[in-house]
Amino acid sequence: MVVPRTSAVLTIRGLQTWFLNLLFPPRCVGCHQVGVWLCADCLAQIPHIEPPFCTRCGDAVVASGLCARCQTAPLRIECIRSVVYFEGVLREAMHRFKYRRLTALAEPLGAMMAEYWMQHPIPADVVVPVPLHAARLRERGYNQAALLAREMARRVGLAVDERTLVRQRATASQVKLNAKQRKENVRDAFCCSSNALAGKQVLLVDDVCTTGATLEACAVALREGGARGVRALTLARAR
């Protein structure tokens, strides 16, 4: 029997994963329990984001509705939702996922996003991860947002588009920038390479939302590319 090349590659990767897990078994990033990267007890301790929050940008507010910023300066993105706060064991997990190549965490983290989406459906025809610039992608070796998007979309049955939205300009790290600087840093950083998303409801996926500047810049590019609607879901949100 001839094994299809793709199946053979998947089999080889599966064997590699099995062998590595045998030599270096997964350990929970929170409590070091052997066998999983995030155990059920540690997952249960991660604080989930609950209302009230702004119905557009997702910032915490005293009462439901739009926050003062969204009332005075409406965003192009229709809504931003996040699953949990960026703190505790989740912060450690995401640091290892993003900077220490622990890509196996995409499965439990993407599952959290899928569960949230199924409980709080967000209109979407297609999932689009926030892209990295080509130079950053070569440096890191993977796009953490794309890994989350693939895992989440696989679980909820949505298509993923990783080609149309492009980061056309390299930008400085957003980590040490204030809100105004972040907005300027990503201005015109994204574009659409084709009209493949025209007329579609797009769900942007990213790992962390701090001010929403990157997501808004993506939404502007997607709208210019003809997207009918743009909403975002991130795994975590900074307080």
In a domain, 25, yes or no: no
Q: What share of the chain has pLDDT > 70, as a percent?
A: 90
Triad 50, 53, 57: Cα angle to 5°: 125
In a domain, 85, yes or no: yes
In a domain, 26, yes or no: no
pLDDT of residue 197: 98
Would you list the DSSP string of 42-108?
A: HHHHSPBP-S-BBTTT--B-SSSB--HHHHHS--SSSEEEEEEES-HHHHHHHHHHHHS--GGGHHH
CATH at 179: 3.40.50
Instruction: With cut-offs at 50, 70 and 90, classify the pLDDT of residue 172.
Output: confident
In a domain, 33, yes or no: no
pLDDT of residue 3: 38
Domain count, the chain: 1
Tens of pLDDT, residue by residue over 80-117, are 999 999 999 999 999 999 999 999 999 999 999 999 99
> Residues 31-38: what's their mean pLDDT?
92
Residue bearing the bigger pLDDT, 129 or 176: 129
Tens of pLDDT, residue by residue over 108-137, are 999 999 999 999 999 999 999 999 999 999
In a domain, 191, yes or no: yes
Going across the sheet that includes 126-129, the strands are 79-85, 229-237, 201-209, 126-129, 159-160
Residue bearing the bigger pLDDT, 155 or 36: 155
The whole model's pTM is what?
A: 0.88
Residues of the domain holding 93: 73-237
Instruction: With cut-offs at 50, 70 and 90, classify the pLDDT of residue 5.
Output: very low
Upstream peptide bond of 52 is cis (omega within 30 degrees of 0): yes
In a domain, 165, yes or no: yes
